[in-house]
């Protein structure tokens, strides 16, 4: 949490997590006093988040929607972040501009995803190795053999161009390495701790935006708007329904099935 640049400890922070999964990370922010909204397109993931909300007593708003199209007002949040949610499973050319829309003018976007070098050293089948297995020019939309879902990977120049084009300024790019006590994960063991101690397996990016130099006319009308909304605004938490869909499916793939318009209660 310290890598969020201090924003994670500020009480009263309005936070949206894009692709929250079971919402464990946002729940930690909520426990510190943030006002959190959890967005995910997968009903089964949100059902788990709802159960954990009841168990822990931490209150938050759950919204069933893809990270590329979030049914919430412009300029509602101080912080948008994604940890292997929209940052991996959603089309960056759609979810990054959506994050910019949701943020206030001084808001920040923070996201964590696979590192470029880890992606380039990953074979079609098997774990990350020490040889380049694919060209960097092939980065973008990726479907792995015998895997469910679509991943999205960009090179650093592609990320910078996209973020600048969406009104963000790049503040930090952090390489994440394994620590001396790290051991191989039982489920996500696609990279060995020895490899990850020498090369970054993950990258964390922090961006500020929209830029202060952005013309006033370019801001969406009525920005910023009050948050959280009351019953009269037409926004509410979507009902959670159980679904046997594989939670690894990309938000793009299940957008049509899971997105519903929000109406006033």
Domain-embedded: residue 140? no
Give the domain range for residue 155.
Answer: 2-115+151-188+202-258
Tokens 């394994």, located at residue: 178
**What is the average pLDDT score of the chain?**
78
Quote the number of domains for the chain: 1
Domain-embedded: residue 31? yes
Integer Cα distance of 36 and 34 in angstroms: 6
Domain-embedded: residue 236? yes
Cβ neighbours, 10 Å, residue 246: 13
Domain-embedded: residue 141? no
pLDDT at 235 over 80: no
Range in 10-19, 34-43, 67-76, 219-228 with the lowest mean pLDDT: 219-228
Spatial contact of 148 and 246, defined as CB atoms under 8 Å apart:
yes
pTM for the whole structure: 0.76
Residue pLDDT, tens place only, 5-49 = 445 446 789 999 999 998 888 888 888 889 999 999 999 999 998
Domain-embedded: residue 122? no
Ranges of beta strands (E only) in 119-201 are 141-142, 151-152, 169-176
Banded model confidence at residue 246, pLDDT cuts 50, 70, 90:
very low
Structure confidence at residue 25 (pLDDT): 85
Spatial contact of 18 and 85, defined as CB atoms under 8 Å apart:
yes
Domain-embedded: residue 214? yes
The pLDDT of 243-262, averaged and rounded, is: 29
Banded model confidence at residue 210, pLDDT cuts 50, 70, 90:
low
Domain-embedded: residue 128? no
Spatial contact of 13 and 78, defined as CB atoms under 8 Å apart:
yes
Residue 67 belongs to domain with CATH number = 3.40.50.150
Residue pLDDT, tens place only, 182-205 = 888 787 778 899 999 999 988 988
Q: Strand 103-114 relative to strand 77-83: parallel, antiparallel, unpaired? A: parallel
Residue pLDDT, tens place only, 142-156 = 999 988 889 999 999
Please say whether the dihedral angle defined by the alpha carbons of residues 118, 89, 139 and 143, taken in this order, is positive or negative.
Answer: positive
pLDDT at 115 over 70: yes
The pLDDT of 231-260, averaged and rounded, is: 30
Q: Which residue has the higher pLDDT, 127 or 240?
A: 127
């Amino acid at each position: 949490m310290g890598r969020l640049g201090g924003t994670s400890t500020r009480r009263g922070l309005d936070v949206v997590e894009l692709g929250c999964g079971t919402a464990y990370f946002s729940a930690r922010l909520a426990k510190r006093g943030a006002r959190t909204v959890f967005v995910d397109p997968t009903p089964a993931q949100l059902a788990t988040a709802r159960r954990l909300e009841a168990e822990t007593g931490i209150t938050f708003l759950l919204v069933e929607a893809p990270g590329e199209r979030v049914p919430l007002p412009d300029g509602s949040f101080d912080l948008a972040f994604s940890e292997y949610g929209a940052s991996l499973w959603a089309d960056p050319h759609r979810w990054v501009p959506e994050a910019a829309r949701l943020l206030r003018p001084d808001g920040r976007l923070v996201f964590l995803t696979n590192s470029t070098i880890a992606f380039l050293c990953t074979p079609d089948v098997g774990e990350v190795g020490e040889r380049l297995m694919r060209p960097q020019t092939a980065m973008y939309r990726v479907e792995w053999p015998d895997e469910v879902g679509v991943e999205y990977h960009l090179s650093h120049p592609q990320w910078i161009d996209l973020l600048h084009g969406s009104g963000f300024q790049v503040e930090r790019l952090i390489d994440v390495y394994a620590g001396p006590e790290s051991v191989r994960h039982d489920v996500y063991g696609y990279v060995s701790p020895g490899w990850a101690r020498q090369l970054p397996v993950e990258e964390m990016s922090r961006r500020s935006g929209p830029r202060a130099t952005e013309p006033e006319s370019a801001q969406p009308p009525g920005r910023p708007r009050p948050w959280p909304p009351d019953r009269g605004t037409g926004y509410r938490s979507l009902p959670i329904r159980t679904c046997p869909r594989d939670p690894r499916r990309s938000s793009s793939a299940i957008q049509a099935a899971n997105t519903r318009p929000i109406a006033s209660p």
